[in-house]
Copies of this chain bind each other. A is one copy, B any other.
Amino acid sequence: MDVSDPEDPFSEMDPQACPTAEAMDVVGTEWRMNVLHDLQNGEMRFNELKEATGASSRTLSQTLDALMDAGLVDRRMEEASPVATYYSLTEKGEALGPVFDELDAWAREWVDPDEVEG
C-alpha cells in the first residue's frame, strides 16, 4: 500500500530518468532560451541583454540568475565607477550552440514570416 505505484517507472518524473528532461528543465523557458541565444554571439552587458530580449530588469535578473546557477552563464564585473557587468556563456553554455543552430535551421525552413504558400 505504498503511495507510489511500483509499476510506474519513474513515480514522479525524476529528471534523472532522462538527461534530456533535465536539459529541458534548464533551458525550457522562452526567456532562458532567448538569453542563451543572444549570448551565442559573445558577451553582453546587462542592459544590452535587456534591450535585446525585451525582458524587464527583474525578469532578466532572475533569468541570468538561473542560468548562472545552472552553470551556463558567467558574469564578469569591472571594478569601475558606474559598474560594468558582462555576461557570457560558459563552456557548458556554448556547448548548446548546435542546438540553437538546429533550431535556427528548423525555423528558417518551417517558420516563415508570412506563412508563404506561393
Residues of A within 8 A of B (CB): 8, 12-13, 16, 19-30, 33-34, 37, 51, 53-54, 92, 95-96, 98-113
Contacts and interface: CB of A to CB of B under 8 A. Distances in A.
A20 B103 contact: yes
Given A24-B34, A92-B110, A102 B99 contact: yes
- Decide if the interface of chain A is mainly helix, strand, loop or mixed: helix
Contact of A54 (B12, B104, B113): B12
Given A54-B12, A98-B102, A106-B98, A23 B111 contact: yes
B23 A107 contact: yes
Which of the listed residues A34, A92, A112 has the most CB atoms from chain B within 10 Å of its own CB? A34
A28 B28 CA distance: 6
B24 A30 contact: yes
Contacts of A24: 30, 33-34, 37, 103
Contacts of A28: 28-30, 33
A37 B23 CA distance: 12
